[in-house]
Amino acid sequence: MFNKQQRDVIGWREWLALPDLGVSAIKAKIDTGARSSAIHAFDVHHFGDEDERMVEFKMHPWQRNSTETVTATAKVLDQREVRNSGGHSEERIVIVTTAKLRGHEWEIELTLTNRDVMGFRMLLGRAAVREKFLVHPGKSYLLSDRPKLALRHL
């Protein structure tokens, strides 16, 4: 649980795990200017019925690597209009998943979008870090270390 008096400080980028989605490590940009969080997703397919809408999608969790692919399935929470960094609105699927960062584990809402041309495959917005962490904009990886697996992707 998160202590309101003493919050851990995270950097402007951190390595997170998304265990529900089968992602052991993904480099995320912490963006307090963005309300929602987003992850790079493609080949998105809906299935299920009105009572339980599901989505299956693929991800490339490593920056500058389009060969390693993770396929994930999640329950659809919502579909929302989200304004991207270029100021354009787009309809995005919203899921809920677990995020893990050095001893912290919490649920986040995550929108699915194509971030292939973006510098980071995942963006962690202010709704996901609010009342949980303080963000140091001049530091990186304060609560995470580069996973050994990531060394071969740099």
Distance from C-alpha of 90 to C-alpha of 106, rounded to nearest angstrom: 26
Query: Domain map of the chain by residue range?
Result: 8-144
Tokens of 48: 């299920």
Tell me what pLDDT residue 138 has: 94
Distance from C-alpha of 108 to C-alpha of 42, rounded to nearest angstrom: 20
Tell me what pLDDT residue 153 has: 40
Instruction: Give strand pairing partners of 20.
Output: none
Local mean pLDDT, 10-residue blocks, the chain (154 residues): 73 95 94 91 91 93 84 94 79 96 94 84 94 94 79 40
Cα 89 to its chain centre, rounded Å, is: 19
- Nearest CA-CA partner of 120 in 103, 106, 140: 140
Q: Three-state DSSP class for 83?
A: strand
Distance from C-alpha of 32 to C-alpha of 15, rounded to nearest angstrom: 17
Instruction: Give strand pairing partners of 110.
Output: 37, 95
Tell me what pLDDT residue 4 has: 57
CB contact set of 35 (below 8 Å; sequence gap of 6+): 125, 126, 127
Tell me what pLDDT residue 64 has: 78
Distance from C-alpha of 146 to C-alpha of 7, rounded to nearest angstrom: 22
Q: Does the domain made of 8-144 have the CATH classification 2.60.40.10? A: no
Tell me what pLDDT residue 89 has: 87
